[in-house]
Structures are given as C-alpha cells and as structure tokens.
Chain A
Amino acid sequence: MAMIDNGPPDFRQYLPNIIKENYGKWEYHEHVRPGVLKHVGPAGELYSVRAGEPRLMSVDAIRDICDVADEFCDGHLRFTSRNNIEFLTPDESKVEPIIERCQELGYPVGGTHHSLSNIVHTQGWVHCHTPASDASGIVKAVMDDLYEYFVTDELPNKLHIAMACCLNMCGAAHCSDISIVAIHRTVPRIDHDTVRKTSEIPSLVACCPTGAIRPDPKIKSVSVVDERCMYCGNCYTMSPGMHIMDAENDGLAIMVGGKVSTARTDPSFSRMVIPFLPNNPPRWPEVTEAVRHIVEVWASNARKGERLGEWIERIGWERFFSISGIPFSDKLIDDYIFSRETFRTSSAFKF
C-alpha cells in the first residue's frame, strides 16, 4: 500500500541558490517596472517576473511555463496566492527575454505595485455544485476589459478583485477592493422525492441560518417559509432535493471597499453597491461595465495611495453614490444579523 501522510514536499529543495543565500536576510526591494520586482540581499539580487495565468491550466501549458523556467531560471519558479506565475532569476539580463517569452505564450506581465493583480476566483460552472453563475468566464471578460490596468501601474494603489460564484463567497471575496458575487434570488424548489430518499431531515432543518426550513412529517420532507429565506443555498449543500439554481433569476452583485492589510486603516469588508446585474454569458457586459466604471471613478477621484475603500470612507459612502451615479436602494441597507452598526447614528452627513 502507498505511503500515507507524506505531507507537502519540502519547499527548501525548490529554492534557487540566490534565495538560499539571502534567506531571511533580504534588505530591500525595488519595483523595476510593471511585473518586475528586484529584491536585494547581502548575497546579491533576485529578479522576479510576474505573469498572469488563467488559473485553469492544462498540463501542456504548465510544461510551456517549465520550458521558460528551464531556459532562463535554472528551472526555478513560484506561483502567487492570486494565480500569477513568478519566474525567478539572479541575472538581470534574463528579464527581457523572459518577458518576451511570456508575451509569445500569451501570459501578460504585470500585476505588481499600483496595478490590478489577477482575480482570485472560484470554480463556477466548471466544477461547483451550487453556482449562481460561472466564475472563469466572468473573470476572463473582466480581465480582458481591464487589461490595461494589469500591465501598467498608475492606479492610486493596488487593486484586488475577487469573484465568488455563489453566496458562500469562497475566495476572500468579502475583503476585496471589488468583488463580484453571483447570487440566487428565489427560494429553493423542493423535490420532495429526492429529499425523502437522500436527506437527513433534522440536519436539513438545522442547516438553515434563518430558520426558514421546517419539517413536514406528513410527507416526510420539509417546507420553506418563503419570507425568511435569503437564498444562501446552504440547504442545497445538505440536500440535492433543494434546487436553488434558477436560470432566469440568478445574477451578480457587486461589492466594494474591502482590504486585508492593516496599512493606514484596519482590514475591512467589501460592501454591496450594486445588488443585481443580469447573468449574461458569454461576456457579461453589464458586469464588466459596472466594474470598469467603479475603477475609473476611483482612479480619477482618489488621492495617491488610497485603496478604493479608503477613498470611499474618507469622502463618505453617500458621496460615493453621488459621485459614481450608482443608484442607492433599500437592497443595500443590511437587514441580516449584524446590521445595526451600519446605520448612521449622527446627523453629520453630506447631502
């Protein structure tokens, strides 16, 4: 029988020599140009060339990348937490050839400093069982549209976008500058036969965060109190008889202003500014247009160094809505669990 619990491979075997020598002793880094970082330590310099990848990759594409790393980086490379490749070399003269090869292969070089980094996202229709939309397709459409912001670095600060394909909001979408969240808006349609055959009724009842699901002993299934359901789809994860996907009424919400670093201001959640946009494959034009509009409004109004959420908090959310022209509505006022802290308790606001 095969060994179990090997654990992950030891990262040390994969480090290039310059990293082994400068390990823990790095002194400073410079941003050479969009997509190129130079780190300096006592043993010398390391250049990292960052390129965006599509997250979903064929093994042949990985082999292509390996060819580049073999040719220019002694076979050393890494990936970032945001689906970027980083080619690592101590030799400055290799930087341009790496960039050229990346361009030939169709991998854009950028995503550093004050640029848009690659989008963190979920599986969507490619492999998830509860999606309200696709993820890869929307990400491709948005990155095509915002491409210029990935390969340049002239935004007020970095821009992190995340895409979650249902209300679970996998992928840290809840703390991103902009998040695109696919949503359901209608109560689950119950297939009582499937519920009876496949589900544990007490667990199904207990899983509902709002207590909207009640046992119906007569039919050995459940019923849903429609007004209490907020369409999270938790019940569908517990029982395949609770059909939450709705081709006509599912769509996308846009949230903005989240961050995770503590620089200047504490980590913050993304806040909903557009409650619904239609699910419109293959290019989702309403979504790409809304995201671009938010990026442009931020880029032309924020002070240098302000993350999207920092800019909005400085001017006030009421100003964000008037400047951006995005309509405010009752959907944007929280009525879930922790709503009260978002209500304004002061008459000091802007008209």
Chain B
Amino acid sequence: MTESSKTPQLDELESGPWPSFVTEIKRAAEKSEMSADLLGLLERSYHDKIGHWKHGGIVGVKGYGGGVVGRYTDLPEEFPNVSEFHTMRIAAPSGWFYDTDALRELCDIWERHGSGITNVHGSTGDLIFLGTKTEELQPTFDELSEAGYDLGGSGSDLRSPSCCVGPGRCEYACYDTLDMCYDITNEFQDELHRPMWPYKSKIKMSGCANDCVAAAARADISVIGTWRDALTIDQDEVKRYAEGGLPIREAVVEKCPTRCLRYDQETGELTVNADECTRCMHCVNVMGRAVKQGKEKGATILLGAKSTIVKSAFMSWVLVPFMKMEAPYDEFKDLVNRIWDWWDENGKTRERIGETVYRIGMGKFLRDVGLEAVPQMVYRPRANPYVFWPQEEILQEAAGQEGEPA
C-alpha cells in the first residue's frame, strides 16, 4: 500500500466469509459521490462511536405524505454530498417475487437519481433506496411512477403490508396471502400514502401459525392462517415416516402441546382428538406428508403487536378466532376500518392501537367496534371484581325486569 486508507475500521469489515456491506458501499462509491461521502461519514461514526445523522425538515413528493424519510448529516462541511441523504421506500411485490427485468429497471432508475445503495429489503418489507438529495426526490418518483412502481409507507400511516410466500411456494398456506396483501395494499392506498393517524399501523399476513413474517410480533393487525375442522392423517404416509426412522412418539406425539395425538406402535396408526387440537403446526411441520391441515381454512385476526417503544413490547392477541379469507376480503376490510376509526377517535399521539386498547380497556373497545367477547380472546378470565359496568346496561336490565309479569 502506497497510501494509507482513509477508512481503516470499515476496511476491517471487508474480510471474513460473510458478504460485506462495506464492499457494497465502496462499489457504489465508484459511481456516486454521495456513496463516497457516506463511506467517509460512516468511518467517522466508527471512530467517534456516535451517529452523524440528524432530524430534518419534512421532505417528500407531490401528493404524498409518506414514503420518504428525511436525513441530513450533522457534518455537512466535511461530507457535503450527504448533507441531504433521504431514503425512499419502494412498495415491493407480494412475497418479494421479482423478475430480473423489474430489478434492473429499478436499479437503473436509482443509479440515475441516487446513491446506488439499497436495502433489499427494509424490515417493513419495502425495497429501500438509501440516500439522495432533496431535488432528486420528485424526478426519482416520476420515473418510478411512469414505470408502474410506487412508494411505501412512512410516518403515522399504514406501513406497507407484507406477507409470507404463501400459496406461491408453501403447502401450509391457509389462504392466499400474496393476493390478499396485493388487494388490501391497493384498497388502502390513501391510508398508506397520507399519514393521518396517531402513529403507524401495520398489517402483516402469514399463511399459517409458523408465522414467517412475524405478524404476531409486530403487526397492529396480524392475519394468521388457520383451519377450524380436524387435521387429516394419511395412515400409509405415517407408516412410511416410521419406516424411514422418524421416532413418531418422541418427535411428534410427546411434543404436541395439548397431547391430542395418539400413536399406536403396533398398528402404526396415528390419530387425533380434534376437539383438543390447537393447530400449533408442530406435527404438520415434522411429518407434513402424513399430517395435513383441515379443509375449512381461513385466518385468525389478532390485534395490537408492536415493539418496545413506548409502553413495552406487545404480542398480538386474538380478536376474531376465525374469518374466511377470500377476495374481495370485504369482512376484513370492514373490520379494519372500524378498528382504525376507533383508534383515530381514542388514540393519543405516538400511541399504537394495542396501547390505546390497553389504556382504555378491551371491553369498551369490543363494544365500540361491535365485536362479541369470546373466550378465545383470553388465556383466562379476570381475577378481580372491578368490572367497569356500562350503566346503560344496568338501566336496561332494570327496565326489562319491571316490564316482566310478577
């Protein structure tokens, strides 16, 4: 080396077997001054052990309130090419299926207008165009729009819905996650692109309870595929698994959380007590050619998941135990609209729907959105007598009793 490197710490992250993001930034830097400055700024962060991005004013494109995240460095004199370095979130196709024509087209657009750096993908599921100047935002969008693409969500709006691979490549999909994701994303374009709520809201769709897109952990409205009749068991296939060396009792029956499976070692038959099965997917996962999901398929709708900020992490809880999930998804859309209306009315700023329901109470929420309370919603009933009795119910009850004959 004749010249000492300007990025010694980042250079260190180019070694090792895992593909390096530093190599990627350097590759983009060969063509883009923005990316070259990003590399320098990041090295500075490695040296200072502190981030060098700050809040900016609101930036965006015409007709949209979301989809662009504004970023400015706090060291604009030293790194002028990232003095403005905004992210654009590009709506991805359901299940992240692409063809190379589409990907190349997107790459060409981004190379013309931005840093040439992307995230494939951001955690929400959008394709991320990482970093460009304010003046490039509208031209980038115009080209994207012309080619048939669109922005995703950001800010206090519906974030881009996303889904698992579903019927595209999975035998466990209990409904068409890909179609539903595409359908509802188009239905809720206004909610997605024009922030109008207390905070963000997410819808994620998993075709079964394996939940490959972590809907139960992070989606305000989680749609998780299930069925409501009995597992079907193919006894010939069961025997084939046994012959193949699968220890059925140990690996399947004893791991069943409700002990609803029975395996007769002598006859080689596996049977299920369907009333006790909670459809957890374990047996299907382990011996899917023998044990199949039931035939009456749909989804469970759960509400309220979010990460820790602000009132701790919430996992989604059951709201509708079973809903048929078929186009045009009217029942689902109607429910979602009622939920959002209620949240809009009752939520505080930066409060996710789960936090609002927790603060105000499930009872009131259910009454207001018109859902019946069912035992599937809770693990167990309350252990205190402090019911917030709706007084009108008591008045009605009293009136009813008066009206009855003695």
Residues of A within 8 A of B (CB): 1-11, 13-15, 19, 23-24, 26-29, 39, 46, 48, 52-63, 65-66, 69-70, 75-81, 83, 88, 106-108, 120-131, 133-134, 136-137, 140-141, 143-144, 147, 164, 167-175, 198, 203, 206-207, 209, 232, 234, 240, 245-248, 250, 258, 260-265, 267, 269, 279, 281-283, 304-305, 336-338
Q: Judging by beta carbons under 8 Å apart, are A7 and B189 in contact?
A: yes
Q: A78-B98, A172-B217, A260-B211 are in contact. List 18 more A-B contacts (CB 8 A).
A: A5-B189, A6-B148, A8-B160, A11-B97, A23-B168, A29-B288, A53-B19, A57-B117, A58-B116, A76-B97, A78-B95, A126-B130, A128-B51, A130-B51, A168-B308, A175-B313, A261-B210, A262-B211
Q: Which residues of A contact B286 (CB under 8 A)?
A: 305
Q: Judging by beta carbons under 8 Å apart, are B176 and A24 in contact?
A: yes
Q: Which residues of B contact A81 (CB under 8 A)?
A: 96, 125, 162, 164, 212-214
Tell me the residues in window 18-34 of chain B with beta carbons closer than 8 Å to chain A beta carbons.
18-25, 27-28
In the complex with contacts A245-B50, A262-B280, A282-B10, A69-B315 CB distance below 8 A? no
CB distance from B125 to the nearest CB of A (A): 7
Q: Which residues of A contact B173 (CB under 8 A)?
A: 24
CA distance A173 to B307 in the complex (A): 8
Q: Judging by beta carbons under 8 Å apart, are A260 and B214 in contact?
A: yes
In the complex with contacts A26-B171, A134-B46, A336-B312, A263-B91 CB distance below 8 A? no
Q: Judging by beta carbons under 8 Å apart, are B218 and A172 in contact?
A: yes
Tell me the residues in window 83-120 of chain B with beta carbons closer than 8 Å to chain A beta carbons.
85, 87, 91-104, 107-108, 110-111, 116-120
Q: Scoring B residues 350 to 366 as 1 if CB is less than 8 Å from chain A, else 0, what string do you get?
A: 10000000000000000
B123 interface hit (Cβ, 8 Å): yes
Most chain A beta-carbon contacts within 10 A, residue among B123, B125, B349: B123
Q: Choose one: B49, B120, B162, B308; the contact of A279 (CB below 8 Å).
A: B49
Residues of B within 8 A of A (CB): 9-10, 12-13, 15-25, 27-28, 35, 38, 42, 45-46, 48-55, 62-64, 71, 85, 87, 91-104, 107-108, 110-111, 116-121, 123, 125, 130-131, 141-142, 145-146, 148-150, 160, 162, 164-165, 167-171, 173, 176, 178, 182, 185-186, 189-190, 193, 209-218, 251, 255-257, 278-282, 285-286, 288-289, 307-313, 315, 348-350
Q: Judging by beta carbons under 8 Å apart, are A281 and B49 in contact?
A: yes
Q: Choose one: B25, B46, B51, B217; the contact of A131 (CB below 8 Å).
A: B51
Q: Judging by beta carbons under 8 Å apart, are A60 and B27 in contact?
A: yes
Q: Judging by beta carbons under 8 Å apart, are B141 and A2 in contact?
A: yes
CA distance A122 to B21 in the complex (A): 13
Q: Judging by beta carbons under 8 Å apart, are B149 and A6 in contact?
A: yes
Q: Judging by beta carbons under 8 Å apart, are B48 and A247 in contact?
A: yes
Q: Judging by beta carbons under 8 Å apart, are A2 and B18 in contact?
A: no
In the complex with contacts A2-B145, A4-B64, A19-B169, A11-B182 CB distance below 8 A? yes
Q: Which residues of B contact A107 (CB under 8 A)?
A: 19
Q: Which residues of A contact B257 (CB under 8 A)?
A: 264-265
Q: Judging by beta carbons under 8 Å apart, are B120 and A53 in contact?
A: yes
Q: Judging by beta carbons under 8 Å apart, are A19 and B255 in contact?
A: no
18 A–B contacts from the bound complex (CB under 8 Å): A7-B185, A7-B189, A10-B182, A15-B168, A39-B170, A48-B169, A53-B120, A54-B23, A56-B25, A75-B100, A78-B96, A81-B164, A124-B51, A127-B130, A169-B307, A171-B123, A263-B281, A337-B312
Q: Judging by beta carbons under 8 Å apart, are A129 and B71 in contact?
A: yes
Q: Judging by beta carbons under 8 Å apart, are B117 and A8 in contact?
A: no
Most chain B beta-carbon contacts within 10 A, residue among A11, A123, A140: A11
Q: Judging by beta carbons under 8 Å apart, are A9 and B120 in contact?
A: no
CB distance from B130 to the nearest CB of A (A): 6
